[in-house]
Amino acid sequence: MIKFPEPLDKLLRALGINTNRLGWKLHYWKQDWQRKRGRRIPSQSPYDPSPERKPDELPKPRKYKQCRCGQLSLASDTVCNTCGRKLPSYGAWLVYKYLGLAKPEFNYVSFIFIFLIGVFFIWQIAVSGAQALLTPNNRIVFHFGGLTTNAAIKEGQYWRLFSFALAHYGLMHVLFNSMAIYQVMPHFEREIGPWRTVVLITLTQIGAALAHIYFYSPYTPTAGASGVAAGLVGFGIAWNHFMGRHAEKQFFIQWLMNFAVFSFIFYRSLNHAAHAGGFFAGMFLGWLYSQGLPSKHKDFLYGIAGVFCLSLWIASILFLLHSILSVLRV
- 85: domain range? 62-105
Binning the chain into helix, strand and coil, the percentages to the nearest 5 are 65, 5, 30
Integer Rg of the chain from CA: 24
> Same structural domain for residues 180 and 321?
yes
Predicted confidence (pLDDT) per residue in 68-88, tens digit: 666 777 888 888 776 666 777
pLDDT tens per residue across span 265-285 = 766 678 889 999 999 999 999
Q: Which residues of 204-240 are buried (b: 16+ CB within 10 A; e: fewer)?
A: bbbbbbbbbbeebeeeebbbbbbbbbbbbbbbbbbbb
Strand partners, 86: 79
Amino acid identity, position 193: G
Position 5 in a domain: yes
* Confidence band of 105 (pLDDT split at 50, 70, 90): low
Residues 276 and 164 occupy one common structural domain: yes
Say if residue 74 is in the same domain as residue 164: no
The answer on 218 and 77 residing in a single domain is: no
Rounded Cα distance between 125 and 136, Å, is: 9
The total number of residues written for the chain in this structure: 330
In this structure, is residue 55 part of a structural domain? Answer: no
Residue 231 lies in a domain: yes
By mean pLDDT, which of 108-112, 262-266, 299-303 is the weakest?
Answer: 262-266
Q: What is residue 74's three-state secondary structure?
A: strand
The mean-pLDDT minimum among 186-190, 235-239, 266-270, 307-311 falls in: 266-270
CB 299 within 8 A of CB 86: yes
Start-to-end CA span in the chain (Å) = 65
pLDDT band at 18 (very low <50, low <70, confident <90, very high): confident
pLDDT at 312 over 90: yes
List, in order, residues 6 or more apart from 103 with CB less than 8 Å away. none
* Statement to judge: residues 207 and 227 lie in one domain: yes
Provide the whole-model pTM: 0.69
Give the confidence band of 24 by pLDDT, cuts at 50, 70, 90: confident
Q: What are phi and psi of 205, to 5 degrees?
A: -65, -40
**Both 18 and 2 in a single domain?**
yes
CB 117 within 8 A of CB 177: yes
Task: Indicate whether 118 and 99 sit together in one domain.
Answer: no
Same domain, 93 and 206: no
CATH classification at residue 272: 1.20.1540.10
The answer to the question of residue 56 being in a domain is no
What is the number of structural domains in the chain?
3
User: Residues 112, 101: one domain?
Assistant: no
67 and 100 inside one domain: yes
My answer on whether 115 and 143 are in the same domain is yes
Q: Do 205 and 71 share a structural domain?
A: no
